[in-house]
Chains A and B, each alone.
Chain A
Amino acid sequence: MTTTVSPPETSSTPAAARPAKTSTAKVPFKHRVSRFDSKASPYLYIAPFFVLFGLIGLFPLVYTFVVSLNDWDLLTGPGEWVGFQNYTDELTDPYFWNSLFNTVSIFLLSCIPQLLAAVFIAAVLDQNIRAKTFWRMSVLIPYVVTPVAVAIIFSSAFSEKYGLINNILEALNVDPVMWKTETFPSHVAIATMVNWRWTGYNALILLAAMQSVPRDIHESAALDGAGAFRRFFSITLPSIRPTMIFVIITATIGGLQIFTEPKLFNPSSSVLGGPHREYQTTVLYLWDMAFNRSDFGKASAIAWLLFIIIVAFGLMNFLISRRIASVETRTSKKRTGRKLTEHNAEKAEGARAVVAAAGEKRS
């Protein structure tokens, strides 16, 4: 076949092709199958992932963009091409900004306390306690309660009338809180659900990081007279920073897509996300736009705006944390000398790989 392609190749073919030809003649069929096997198999094994990702990951994202450029109704299908009209509409829609505000507010209320609590719990667990496995398992109990069940349990507990929490507040002579109809209390309530379920989980991740700090660092610090608190702030915290960044990035990607908890928080509200959209998050707004108001075009624009925001948040996290890390490395070089620095660098290396893996959504 190759001989017909072009003159220069023809000249080289006899030399190149003859041995190949003779070898195919000599090599038994079985070996040729084997050669094909080892050439094709690697691609065959990774193919399912790429095919499926193309179909259910890449194509939907690209197609979402196409839909977002059209006037597109759930029932009647594609209408006319409107360019970026849907985007400008959304960017000037107060409901969109409201949803974004709610999302970020709930995210901050869940991320910051959760991280602090998780570090604290990890530090408690990082001691030489008895029955380690039992206590580790016990902080994981909330994790086996599904988000839907969590939302149901807490939406009952936060009921304004006859809810567990307002009952107790009443018993303590405190005015009841309007958990489901006021903005800030509702954000606190929803963040509580997220925190309850995920704090123990993240504490275990941080615990693993704490335990991988080489013991000699602790020992030599202790020998130099550093107490437990001093060691915690000067050794443990700097060492687990990469893991904390990892936890934060994962929490960001998941937190900005929060849906289940606000969706189920107040079932008697006819508007998704509270009577006056007090806790309507962006994904909830997207859902409402697409499947209640049937506007696929606008909903797709919302999806892409949220996509951009999530990527921006992720990058920001990454850059800030890298900056902090490099500043920290410089100062710690002066302070604690080579050993810790090298250790940190090693950690940061590992973290970069993990950070790259942080994309797994949680829902």
Chain B
Amino acid sequence: MSNVTDLKKPTTPTTDAGTPGIPVKPVKPAKPGRARDVGIDRRPGFLTYGLLIALFLGGAYPLWWSFVAGSSDSSVLADTWPPLLPGGRFWDNVASVLDTVPFWQALANSIIVSGVITISVVFFSTLAGYSFAKLRFKGREGLMVFVIATLAVPTQLGIIPLFMLMKEFGWTGTLGAIIVPTLVTAFGVFFMRQYLVDVIPDELIEAARVDGASMFGTFWHVGLPAARPAMAILGLFTFMTAWTDYLWPLLVSPQNPTLQVALSQLQSAKYVDYTIVLAGAVMATIPLLILFVLAGKQLVSGIMAGAVKG
């Protein structure tokens, strides 16, 4: 179930409370003998693996084809059957990309923007989520309902006044203009609250307070360590969201682009040489492919735990 509360380590025995006759048993390691009896855990056949391979190819082929085309000269685009192996011009095309757009600067910009947004969103969301989950104060319920309600507001539609605001501040063309509007998100607050509400026992906080820790000290020594797993997931998805954002950076900072904006500028020429553009697309995808190799498992479990799209 894609509910954030499922993030907690699964309580091993899942029982169906409404069925008295059936004995309690763990969900994951089902007793092989019994399960096989009713045929639920049978290993699937070739058809399944065939489908899985087809899915894998369908997901990977467009990327591979981009690499093949991006490493060839443009004559290859006219071939009726697309070649399957890369040509030898990848570095030439990379050089053309580097000549056309400020790739390295854009890469650095993207790293700074996504990094700052991630740190800020994770920290402030954890702080607010902790407060909503574990501290008692007047108006808590009402304010939380407000946070949840803001989740459904398509804030992207407020770009016109936001743009005017950035212009007023003289921030257009700076990374600040890209960063500031996403420093904390309603989703982050909601996500952290859902996680923290059950994961920290109230007694632990009271004990820390009795021992003379300040509120912030309690948060720092009790709240933060407990929140770490959820912070990692929130951070991962916040980073992805910030990295892939296009509309807002394009609007406020086309002259000092992020990687996505620079990439899109590659095909803004009147005549588009797709081998070069595709080489650029491959180059721009490499950082996230690295992230995928390093943290793909966490991405999968984050999505399955309900770390919802941003």
**Complex formed: what's the CA distance from A217 to B281 in Å?**
47
Q: Which one, A212, A264, A267, A357, contacts B190 given CB within 8 A?
A: A357
Cβ proximity bits B185-204 to A, threshold 8 Å, 1 near / 0 not:
11101100000000000000
* 17 cross-chain CB contacts under 8 A: A48-B184, A49-B189, A59-B158, A152-B267, A152-B278, A152-B280, A212-B1, A222-B40, A250-B309, A350-B1, A353-B3, A354-B308, A357-B4, A357-B190, A359-B187, A360-B185, A360-B187
| B34-81 CB contacts (< 8 Å) to partner A | 34-35, 38-44, 48-49, 51-52, 55-56, 58-60, 62-63, 65-66, 69, 77-81
Within the assembled complex, what's the spacing in Å between the Cα atoms of A222 and B27?
A: 16
**Per-position 1/0 for A53-88, Cβ under 8 A of B:** 100110111011001000000000000000000000
Is B306 interfacial (CB-CB < 8 Å)? yes
Chain A residues whose CB sits within 8 angstroms of the CB of B284 once the complex forms: 146, 148-149
**Digit string of B1-41 for contact with A (CB within 8 Å is 1, else 0)?**
11110100000001010110010000100100011001111
Q: Given the known inter-chain contacts A216-B16, A353-B3, please indicate yes or no for A208 contacting B48, CB distance below 8 A.
A: no
Report whether A361 and B297 are in contact in the complex, using a CB–CB cutoff of 8 Å. no
Q: In the docked arrangement, what's the CA distance between A34 and B216, Å?
A: 11
List A residues 313-347 near B (Cβ within 8 Å). Answer: 314, 338-339, 342-343, 347
Q: B285 an interface residue at 8 Å Cβ cutoff?
A: yes
**In the complex, what residue of chain A is closest to B135 when comparing beta carbons?**
A42
Contact with B along A208-237 (1 / 0, CB 8 A): 110010111111101100001000000000
A39, A49, A137, A291: most-surrounded residue (chain B CB, <10 A): A49
The answer, among A67, A147, A343, for a CB contact under 8 Å with B161, is A67
CA distance A283 to B69 in the complex (A): 32
Q: At the interface, yes or no: A89 with Cβ under 8 Å from chain B?
A: no
Q: Which residues of B contact A264 (CB under 8 A)?
A: 264, 267
A-B contact count (CB 8 A): 353
Q: How large is the interface on A (under 10, 10 to 19, 20 to 34, 35 or more residues)?
A: 35 or more
Stretch at the interface among B85-93, B145-153, B224-232: B145-153
Q: Is the beta-carbon distance between A356 and B267 smaller than 8 angstroms?
A: no
Which residues of the partner chain A approach B119 to less than 8 Å between Cβ atoms?
none
Q: Is the CB of B128 within 8 A of A268?
A: no
A145's closest neighbor in chain B, by CB? Answer: B285
Instruction: Please indicate the chain A residues that have their CB under 8 angstroms from the CB of B176 in the complex.
Output: none
Specify which chain B residues have a CB less than 8 angstroms from the CB of A59 in the assembled complex.
Answer: 158, 161
Bound Cα distance A153, B284 (Å)? 12
A-B contact sample (6 more), CB < 8 A, given A57-B150, A61-B158, A153-B65: A59-B158, A136-B300, A152-B267, A290-B159, A303-B160, A363-B247
Write out the residue numbers on chain A whose beta carbons fall within 8 Å of the beta carbon of B272. Answer: 267-268
Bound CA span A157–B63, Å: 11
Q: Is the CB of A214 within 8 A of B14?
A: yes
Structural contact, A243 and B154, CB atoms closer than 8 A: no
B277 contacts the other chain (CB 8 A):
yes
**7 closest Cβ pairs, A-B complex:** A60-B158, A359-B151, A359-B152, A41-B215, A222-B38, A208-B304, A45-B131
Give the distance in Å from the alpha carbon of A209 to the alpha carbon of B154 in the complex.
Answer: 26
- Does A52 interact with chain B (Cβ within 8 Å)? yes
| Chain A residues within CB distance 8 Å of chain B | 34, 37-39, 41-43, 45-46, 48-50, 52-53, 56-57, 59-61, 63-64, 67, 121, 124-125, 127-130, 133, 135-149, 151-157, 159, 162-164, 167-168, 170-171, 196, 200-201, 204-205, 207-209, 212, 214-220, 222-223, 228, 242-243, 246, 250, 253-254, 257, 259-260, 263-264, 267-268, 283, 286-287, 290-291, 296, 299-300, 303-304, 306-307, 310-311, 314, 338-339, 342-343, 347, 350, 353-354, 356-363
Question: B171 near A: Cβ within 8 Å?
Answer: no
Contact B300 A146 (CB under 8 A): no
Question: Which residues on A sit within 8 Å (CB–CB) of B185?
Answer: 360
B190: shortest Cβ distance to chain A, in Å?
Answer: 6
Contact A57 B278 (CB under 8 A): no
A111: shortest Cβ distance to chain B, in Å? 14
Residues of B within 8 A of A57 (CB): 150, 153, 155, 158, 186
**Contact status B1-A358, CB under 8 Å:** no
Interface size class of B (residues with CB under 8 A): 35 or more
| B52: chain A residues within 8 A (beta carbon) | 124-125, 129, 135, 138
> Are B80 and A170 in contact (CB-based, < 8 A)?
yes
Q: CA–CA, A219 to B21, complex, Å?
A: 14
Inter-chain CA distance A38–B209, complex, in Å, is 9
> With A128-B42, A147-B244, A216-B16 known to touch, is A153 a contact of B143 (CB < 8 Å)?
no
Question: Are A296 and B155 in touch, CB under 8 angstroms?
Answer: no
Cβ–Cβ contact A219 & B38, under 8 A: yes
B269-282 interface bits toward A, Cβ cutoff 8 Å, 1 = contact, 0 = none: 11010100110110
B243 proximal to A (CB < 8 A): yes
**Which listed residue, B245, B247, B267, touches A267 by the CB 8 Å rule?**
B267
